Every structure is written in structure tokens, then in C-alpha cells.
Amino acid sequence: MSESRQVVPAQRAWMTLVLKAGTPLVSAILAMGVGSLIMWVSGYDPAAAFAALFKGSFGGPKQFGETILRATPLILAGLAVGYGFRAGLFNIGAEGQLMMGGLLAAWLGVEMAGLPSAVTVPVLLIGSALAGAAWAFIPAILKARIGAHEVITTMMFSHIARFLVQWLVNGPIKAPGQTPQTAPLGLSGQLPRIPTLFSESTLEALPFLGLGRAHTGILVALLAAVAVWLVLKYTTLGYENRAVGYSPWASETAGISVQWTTVKALCISGALAGLAGAVEVMGVHHRVFDQFSAGVGFTGIAVALLAKNHPLGIIAAAMLFGALQAGSGTMQLEAGVPQKIILIIQALVIFFVAAEQIVMWFIRKRQKEAISGAE
């Protein structure tokens, strides 16, 4: 008896870990399983597809760099959606705030071309965050004051942002030439690629640093993740955010302003989405064009859900989705599978995470097997 009792704490810790990380992990695996099934039914070879996918995302430093490149805005978009969720808000329109952030970075980046990087980069980042927050502000106010559902309003604002960008790149801030796009940022506003930070000899000595197109925006994303984690855990702002998310009534009773917390949460969410737009523009495109956001805001929803809104979990979830995106090109090229399969897998991930029961059933079955196997 005493022996089995000693086992209990260890088992408990294992259980908590399984419950915390297990469900998302199993969800991701299940989603890829169903994705394979779809590929197989469609006449593709899933094994070849995933092999190509892996090659394209983790096959070498350059490929891994591509994964990081894709994960960078996804971390920020995931944080944006996740922070909203923690306040009970579903910022389905992160995409729009992202566009506004990117737009501001593109405009300021051109205007500030002559200034030193040390000035330009922070100004662009802060400006983009403010632009994203501003775009979330009206839905936030409408939610707080009138109760207009943020799912509808932020979604609509996202469509409005799309046409705003379309108009601007076709007219007012269009660069000379045929293509409807803005002029490139000045060098001072660009986030340098990671390999450019090192000398030739260093890169030769340490080849894993040759991370291809990956840029320093990843540092911004990682810092933001840690910051959000600290805010949620150790500040009154985060405490009130979580309290309102769980129970607006109890929060109100405890003297927390639900309206003000809602506005803050949605604006912070918008600011994070705006940063996501900024790193895309400053690190990858160096300009803005129609639909430059490429659905990153929506993928952020899947990222946040997969991570169960945990800021550090979001890093891992974004890496997974980043890898899927980075490898999808190779997959199409080598195994012929349309890249859209990635969207399907994302949707399935959301399903499986949300419908925890299915996943729990799998986990429990495994546990039962493990327990009966141990006996």
C-alpha cells in the first residue's frame, strides 16, 4: 500500500502534464491523421507528402529559417487572439488589425527612410501596435457600451480594412509602376535577416545560423509572448483580464470595471495583431499590397486554440503551423498535394482541440492500456 501511495504524486504530475499538453498534442496528431486520410482518398501518398513537408520545414537551416519566418507573425497573431480569449472575447477579426498595423509600418517606413534604425524600428513597431489597437477600438467600445457582438463587428472591420488597403495601394500611396503596391521601406525600417547579422566566417563555422529568410522579427514575437505571459500571471491587468473572462458578474462585484477591461483587452489584442502585421511588412514583404496579410490573423485563431491560450504554448503552436506552411510548397512540388490541405488540417486542429471529449477519449484509452499493461 505504502508503495503505491508514493507513486501517486508522480502520477499526478504526469497527469497534469498530459492534460495540459496532451490534448493539444493528440489534437494535432489526430488532425494530421485525418489530413492523411483525405490525401489518401484523393489519390496522394500521405507518407511522401509528410516527408516532403518535413523536408521543406525542418530539412536544413534554410528550411528551418522558413519555418521561423512563417511562425513569427503567427506567434503574434496567436497572442492577439489568445489574449482576447482570456478576457472572454473572440477577436475573429485580428486579420483586419494586422492589416492596419502593416499599413502603418509600410507608410512610416517610407517616410522615415533617412533616420537611423534605432529610431525607425521602435517607432514602426509601436506605431503598428497603436494602429492595430485603434482598429480594434470601435468594436471594443461597441461591445462594452452596447453589447454588439465582437465576432460580427471585428469580422466586418476586417473586411473594411481589406478594402481600405486595396484602395490605398491602388491610389493614394501607390508606388510608381504597374503593380498596385507601396514603395519599399527604407533600409532603416527593415528587420534584418538573421544570417546577415553574422560574418561569412561565422556562418561557415556555424552553418546552423544560415537560417535563410528568417528575420529578427522572431525576437519581437518571442519577447511579446514572454511579456503577455508575465502580464497574465503577475499583474493586476492580467488578473482582471482573466477574472472578466471567467465571470463578468463576479468581477463587477469585486469592483472591476467589466467595460473598461473589455476595451483594454480588445485593444491589447489589436495591438498584438498590429505587431504581427508590422513584422510581416518590416521583415518579409518590405511593402504593402492587396491581401498581403494572407490569412495570418485567421490562422492565429487556430494557434491560440491549439495552445489553449497559453502565451508560451502559443510559441510551440505557431512553430507547428509555421512548419506546415513552410513545408507546404515542397509538399506540392514533390508530392503534388495542393497546399490548401494545410487549411484543412488547421480547421481539423481547431475541431479536435475544441471538442476535447474526442481527444480525451483517445487519451483515456491510452491511459487504460498503460494501466492495464502495467498490472
Partner 1 sequence: MPVLELRDVTKVFPGVVANDKVSFTLEEREIVALLGENGAGKSTLMNIVYGLLSADHGEILVDGEPVKIRSSRQAIDLGIGMVHQHFMLIEPLTVTENIVLGREPGRFGVIDIGTARKRVAEISERYGLRIDPDARISDLEVGLQQRVEILKALYQGARVLILDEPTAVLTPQEVRELFAVVRSLVDEGLSVVFITHKLEEVMAVADRIVVMRDGAVVGQTRPSETDEVGLARMMVGRDVVLRIDKKPVACGETVLEVRELVVKSDRGLDAVGGVSFQVCGGEVVAVAGVGGNGQTELVEAIVGLRKPVSGSIALKGNDITHASARSSIEVGVSHVPEDRHRRGLILQFNIAENLLLGDHRVAPYARHGVIKLREVISMARKRIEDYDIRTPSEKVLGSSLSGGNQQKVVIARELGRNPELLVAAQPTRGLDVGAIEFVHRQVLAEREAGKAVLLISLELEEVLSLADRILVMYEGRIVKEFAADEADAETLGFYMTGGGGTKLEATPPEASPAGAGVGE
Partner 2 sequence: MLSDVITPDLFAAALRIATPLALAAIGGTICERSGIVNIALEGIMLFGAFFGTATVLATGSPWLGVIVAVLAGVIVSAIHATASINLRTDQVVSGTAINLLALGVTGFLMELWYGHPGTTEPIRTLQPVFHFTASGEGVLNEIWRWINGVFLSHTPIVYATIVIALATHWAMYHTRWGLRLRALGEHPRAVETAGVSVARGRWVAVLMSGALGGLAGANLSIEQVGVFQENFTNGRGFIALAANIFGRWTPIGSYLASLLFGFADALQIKLQPFRDVVDIPPQFFYMLPYVLTVVVVAGVMGRAIGPAAVGVPYEKE
Q: How far is the CB of 159 from partner 2 (least distance, A)?
A: 4
CA 227 – CA 286 distance, rounded (Å): 26
Under the binding rule (CB under 8 A), the answer on residue 240 touching partner 1 is: yes
By CB under 8 A, name the one of 11, 42, 235, 291 that touches partner 1: 235
Instruction: Report the partner that residue 350 touches, choosing among partner 2, partner 1, none (CB closer than 5 to 8 A by kind).
Output: partner 2
CA 344 – CA 24 distance, rounded (Å): 17
CA nearest 323: which of 87, 74, 38?
74
Contact positions with partner 2 (CB under 8 A) in 244-303? 298, 301-302
Q: If DSSP codes are grouped into helix, strand and coil, which group holds residue 193?
A: strand
Phi first, then psi, for residue 38 (nearest 5°) are -60, -45
Q: If DSSP codes are grouped into helix, strand and coil, which group holds residue 191?
A: coil
Q: How far is the CB of 268 from partner 2 (least distance, A)?
A: 20
Q: Of 178-186, 240-248, 308-316, 361-369, which part binds partner 1 (CB under 8 A)?
A: 240-248
By CB under 8 A, name the one of 21, 237, 358, 360 that touches partner 1: 237
Per-residue contact track with partner 2, 313 to 352, x per CB under 8 A?
-------------------------x-xxxxxxxxx-xx-
Contact between 226 and 44 under an 8 Å Cβ cutoff? The reply is no
Instruction: Report the partner that residue 42 touches, choosing among partner 1, partner 2, none (CB closer than 5 to 8 A by kind).
Output: partner 2
What number of CA atoms fall less than 13 Å from residue 209's CA on the CB side? 14
Q: If DSSP codes are grouped into helix, strand and coil, which group holds residue 181?
A: strand
By CB under 8 A, name the one of 9, 172, 176, 255 that touches partner 1: 255
Contact positions with partner 2 (CB under 8 A) in 6-65? 38, 42
Question: In the numeric block, which cell numbers belong to residue 250?
Answer: 463576479
- Cα 283 to the center of its chain, rounded Å: 16
The residues binding partner 1 (CB under 8 A) are 234-237, 239-240, 242-243, 246-247, 249-257
